[in-house]
Chain A
Amino acid sequence: MTQHSRDMSRRRLLFGGAAVGAGVLLAGCTSNESQPTEAQTKAAGAPGGNSEPGKRVVIGFSAPAADHGWIAAITNNAKAQAGTYSDVEFKSVEAGADAAAQRAALSTLISQKPDVIVLLPHDGKELNAFGLEAMKAGVPVVNLDRAFPDARAYRLQIKGDNYGMGVAAATYMIEQFKAKGVSNPVIGEIAGMDELELTQERSKGFADTLTASGFKVANRRAARFTADSGQQEAAQLLQALPKIDALWNHDDDQGIGVLAAVNQSGRKEFFMVGGAGSKKAMEDIQADNTVLKATVTYSPSMASSAVSLARLIGQGRGMSDLVELQVPKEIILASETITKENAGDYLKLGF
């Protein structure tokens, strides 16, 4: 072996060794175990009524494979809630990337003959036909959060109140302005993805409520429900408004970035209201050491409730506190305002 080739092989060994070492080190770095992934469930604890085990129910579940904390919480909650019942069998299919993929996944779900289907569609309009088909075949469909336009396409619809979120955020702000005696406030808004109907509804509720009190939004930027886009849009919004009185950010996940931008700019003259109700936002509100003073809920706990109600539908039982013998057809969760005072109560619902 010549000197040159020995050098080469030694160099290769060194590089190879370094690469393997780095690989091992990196592989060890993917562990995420102490992340909080506690689900929001209601244990079937209280004796009597609907918690008594009944007829066996197979619940089929489908939600988009999203990369967003809120949807991840939806799936976790549904699974965990099903786990609290001894009489529920939970069959989940991933819905893939779009409505077509979800339709394909649902057809495999149908073939497994579930008693009830709980479904968070990619798009309510696009999956309306599936709802009709399943209902016709005698499988009750529980629509989670994204409504079908056709009332015959679902047995139960349970969803959050997007318009109400905007109303709640604006109402909180108006109260604060009154208390502080601000007569001509400068209001900023960081919205979520603008092409989604839910974002438009949130902004409309916000603008309508402000207008009723004679206020208006001074500047509005749309982010993408991600922390990095929230940071970028917030940084630009702060640049556009040298002085702000209040800022509403639609989503607490992107709010991590919005708060980062606020800290990086060193601005403290305003208060901020969040949206959705993440655990981190609630902790920040409770600690009261950032500009974030409140958040309005859009809780993924609705998935847990949807599974509970699907079980009752499958067993032909009603909600025990209501007079009706069956589950109602439509449930819209109210958007609640979380402040320092009540954050402790809501913390268990944070995702």
Chain B
Amino acid sequence: MSEPLTPTATPERAAQLPAQSPPVDPTETAGAVHKTSAPGRISWWRGEGGEGARRNLGLVGVLVVLVVIGALTRSDLYSNPDWVWDNVLSILKLAAVVGVVTVGMTFVIIGGGIDLSVGAIVALAGVWCTTVATQSYGAGGMIFSALTVGLAVGLVNGLLISYGRLVPFIATLAMLVAARGLAAEISDKQTQVSENGFINGLASNSLLGIPLLVYILAAVVAAGWVLLNRTTFGRRTVAVGGNPEAARLAGINVKRHTVLLYALSGLCCGIAAIMLTAQANSAQAAMANLYELDAIAAAIIGGTLLSGGRGTIIGSLLGVVIFATITNLFAINGLSTEAQNMVKGGIIVAAVLVQQVQFRSLTQFLGRNRLTT
């Protein structure tokens, strides 16, 4: 806090100082942030670049505390190494579906939006890929239809928001209702059982002792991380979410980018639909209930700023894993779901409070810095 930053124009600064600094293409300067800040007077760890990493370390700390509580309360189970390994896998399997949804959600939120329709899209894609007609095309047809439905619904969301000028909250809320309605219509309110051995095998089979679902989660998280941190698309997402006007002046096609973000979220929902169908051996219109809230909550406690412009994929993943670990902790201790939900609510509030304090001190810090220049 003591040392002032060198006043370079970074996307983060463009985000916080609207129309003050001259328009700079953030896609070009963003790559330079790490280089200039690392050897500077402020260390990377304490500077802005390390902020996400510091925050994530805090989440890892929470995770360790949860595991220690589990080990203390059920020492009989934790004394068996085989059981512990099994339990880690069961937590990861529990986190897998929501985790994939959360990766898409993180992009949307960093881009300054919100997607309330993710649970409904998972349900619609799940129902669509398990109809009798789709199942007759085999696993390929099922995967194709789930991904295409997810992508298409996400595109509609994005178009409504970008070109229809609907507020994201309203557009995706409408999609939540409509997609669940369509899912109920297609499935005739029945639970559709998946008879496909390959799809069901995604949840029951393992490779090298690790369930296939966990590999899918890992692949989506890795792809999301690369996309956000190592590509122009990711840089643009941060810029669009931080300050859309500055991003537009910097030459970014904000509308098209927004459409792509919602399409990406829809695609993640399509992948999640296949995973959830595999897990439950079935799909129905009421599946993936309230996943939108799970995903938003995970992204928020993972350090994604609800107003956009900041967030990390790893943080979101940690958020999902923390929620899954809480569920697991309550289950192995035989405690009620109500108590578990109260603890989850408390953790969300605590995480946001901590964030607010950190963010406020950061803006104060930057504000003071601006006065001195």
Interface set of A (CB-CB < 8 Å, partner B): 22-23, 25-26, 28-35, 37, 66-69, 71-72, 194, 218-222, 224-233, 235-237, 239-240, 242, 253, 256-257, 259-261, 263-264, 280
Contacts and interface: CB of A to CB of B under 8 A. Distances in A.
B280 interface: yes
B280 A31 contact: no
Contact of A194 (B132, B145, B184, B338): B338
B289 interface: yes
B28 interface: no
Contact of B287 (A35, A69, A222, A227): A227
Interface string B261-273: 0000000000000
A259 B193 CA distance: 12
Contacts of B93: 235
Contacts of A280: 193
A29 B87 CA distance: 38
Interface residues of B, number: 55
A71 B189 contact: yes
B189 A22 contact: no
A257 B133 contact: no
Contact of B191 (A233, A239, A256): A256
A23 B189 CA distance: 23
B282 interface: yes
Interface of B: 77, 80, 83, 86-87, 90, 93-94, 128-129, 131-134, 137, 141, 144-145, 148-149, 152, 180, 184, 186-193, 200, 203-204, 276, 279-289, 327-328, 331-334, 336-338
Contacts of B187: 32
Contacts of A263: 204, 281
Nearest to B289: A224
A67 B189 contact: yes
A309 to B, nearest CB: 25
B286 A67 contact: yes
Contacts, number: 152
A134 to B, nearest CB: 27
A259 B152 CA distance: 32
Contacts of B148: 22, 26
**Among B281, B328, B336: residue with most chain A CB under 10 A:** B281
B203 A26 contact: no
Nearest to B332: A240
Contacts of A227: 191, 280-284, 287
Nearest to B204: A264
Contacts of A229: 289
The 7 lowest CB-CB distance pairs between A and B, nearest first, are A236-B331, A260-B281, A31-B133, A72-B189, A227-B280, A29-B134, A228-B280
A18 to B, nearest CB: 10
Contact of A219 (B192, B279, B334): B334
A219 B134 CA distance: 38
B154 to A, nearest CB: 13
A322 to B, nearest CB: 35
Given A32-B186, A239-B87, A231 B331 contact: no
